[in-house]
A = this chain, B = another copy of it.
Amino acid sequence: MYRTHTCGELRPENIGKEVILAGWVQRVRDLGAMSFIDLRDRYGITQLVADENTSEEVKKTLEELGREFVIQVTGTVRERSSRNKNIPTGDIEIEISGLKILSPSAVPPFTIQDDTDGGDDLRMKYRYLDLRRNAVRKNLELRAQMAHAVRSFLTANDFIETETPVLIKSTPEGARDFVVPSRMNPGEFYALPQSPQIFKQLLMVAGFDKYFQIVKCFRDEDLRADRQPEFTQIDCEMSFVEQEDVLNTFEGLTKYAFKEVLNVEVDNFPRMPYTTAMEKYGSDKPDIRFEMLLNDLTEQAKGKGFVVFDSAEYIGGVCAKGCAGYSRKQTDELTNWVKRPQIGAKGLVYVKYNEDGSLKSSVDKFYSPEDLKAWAEKLQAEPGDLMLILSGEKQPTINALGELRLEMGNRLGLRKKGTFKPLWVIDFPLLEWDEETKRFFAMHHPFTSPKPEDISLLDSEPGKVRANAYDLVINGVEIGGGSVRIFDSELQAKMFDILGFTPEQAKAQFGFLMNAFKYGAPPHAGIAFGFDRLVSLFAGLDSIRDVIAFPKNNAGRDVMNDSPAPVSKEQLDELHLQLVKKIK
């Protein structure tokens, strides 16, 4: 037996007991007459002591120990003279009677403690050591706990967890697929799923009624900081439901997870139409932890001779509470901030609504105090506030204002980490026009149902058709999205037509789905949550990388095991493939 207890388990009631512990040496303190070892495992830290009563043999082994050695220790639990209140085992210590090195350790490339001295690259390369740090492992424990809570809720609500295939058919729609050459079917390829969308719809056709799966999905996209080539979804689908049924069910799931895992009660989720989100928050994923709404000043601000505004399609602003005292340096800095390419504004107009009721703006030349008062009224500004105004083409300006709003929220400390404000964004447009390819794309995906009252617009004004689609947004992060699905093969065929598929292409790619709809398809709807993002939100992290045990870097590489890697010519031959040119 390697241990009788873990390193987080012993308490005063164990005093006098002979125990065996095993774990990693967190640190050794040699105080001459006495030596102390902090022994660590996943469950905690226990202090080991050697003193004048300790055998020579043990003392000799003690001298060999270094950080991260794996040892097994036998000893007696005794009361600690100076209690350590910071750890649950702080009342006791172990008087060492036997000590064995199970596995020595070289000096680790960085220290294994909460505030490590290892940089990102080093920690990724030695990920197995980084995962030893409490702060990192806790995130993975949280992840497991969340997955368990999600499964408990959905299972209790009659959802059947069903595994769908990983080796599936490649589809040209959506992001780029990872493909897998088939040796048994030379010249043919599987694809890895971007989502189990079609399979879950087929499960509804199959009468499964309620399906879920916590499942790996894959996208071969150029990676940003917050993207991974493989990611995990909580994927769900329900039959005989309308949009409200879905929203209520998954609002229930989300509240359950918050309560179960974080012991946080969240309010009922507001439902906000997409157009409101865009106009009032400048984003389809509004952070509603704070107000500072966007307001349209076009009518008020145009036609007074300020050419920048007069030539603008849209003028809009936000009101930063209590910021009237911003210095010139601060407003200049904000101006530079909005001009950054990611934000793309040409400039920033500000109006200070001073505490004394006077107004001071960067465009005083063109606007009277009465003009500015009208703006203040529109922006609900009061004495002491700072109004920030952008102008230009409508959509980009709204987007930039949305970003500015978030930035001000950050600066004013309005985006508190422990506060969670979920909402549903609903009534998304069904289609998005792509200027480059001159065609419509499905905003959600090609299986999303138009709102019944908008179906008549499909032929005349497809861009105006709204979808029965919805996103779950928490604190400005899109956590989940879904839709009511088309379950009629003719409407589905029409959608493919609008999306530019020829009937032949639609049949080749999705024929089996449209065929399935011919044998009695139930009305159905679903949703998928980005599990990595949900966990990182719960963990209070900004990136998903720290909630993934073995993440890849921005080039899609695992730097720990140096993959991807070349394969042998024999392997390629078996797959009837060759590299186009010798690379590397």
Residues of A bordering B, CB below 8 Å = 1-3, 6, 22, 24-25, 40-43, 68-70, 102-106, 108, 126-129, 131-132, 137, 140-141, 143-144, 147-148, 151, 155, 160-170, 172, 176-192, 198-199, 202-203, 205-209, 216, 218, 220, 222-223, 229-230, 232, 240-242, 245, 487-488, 512, 516-523, 548-550, 552, 555-558, 560-568, 571, 573-584
Contacts and interface: CB of A to CB of B under 8 A. Distances in A.
A577 B581 CA distance: 8
B584 A103 contact: no
A25 B207 CA distance: 12
Contact of A164 (B70, B143, B549, B563): B549
A184 B549 contact: no
B203 A131 contact: yes
Contacts of A556: 167, 182, 184-185
Contact of A180 (B151, B170, B179, B206): B179
Given A42-B208, A140-B162, 8 more contacts: A126-B519, A144-B161, A151-B151, A179-B567, A179-B571, A187-B582, A191-B563, A573-B580
A222 B131 contact: no
Contacts of A220: 183-184
A1 B242 contact: yes
Contact of A520 (B70, B199, B568): B70
Nearest to A232: B163
Contacts of A516: 128
Contacts of A169: 558, 561-565
29 contacts: A6-B209, A24-B520, A43-B209, A103-B487, A127-B202, A128-B205, A141-B160, A151-B151, A163-B549, A164-B550, A165-B550, A165-B558, A167-B563, A169-B562, A169-B565, A170-B571, A180-B564, A181-B181, A182-B556, A182-B564, A183-B220, A184-B222, A184-B555, A184-B556, A188-B563, A188-B584, A203-B549, A576-B583, A578-B578
Please give the count of copies of this chain that the complex contains.
2
Q: Which of A164, A182, A582 has the most CB of B within 10 A?
A: A182
A140 B520 CA distance: 21
Contacts of A155: 144, 148
Nearest to A183: B220
A131 B208 contact: yes
Contacts of A565: 169-170, 188-189
Contacts of A170: 563, 565, 567, 571
Contacts of A43: 209
Contact of A2 (B144, B241, B561, B578): B241
A68 B519 contact: yes
A203 to B, nearest CB: 7
B207 A137 contact: yes
Given A522-B103, A577-B580, A2 B242 contact: yes
A278 B4 CA distance: 36
A211 to B, nearest CB: 9
Given A165-B230, A209-B42, A579 B577 contact: yes
Given A179-B571, A517-B103, A552-B167, A148 B161 contact: yes
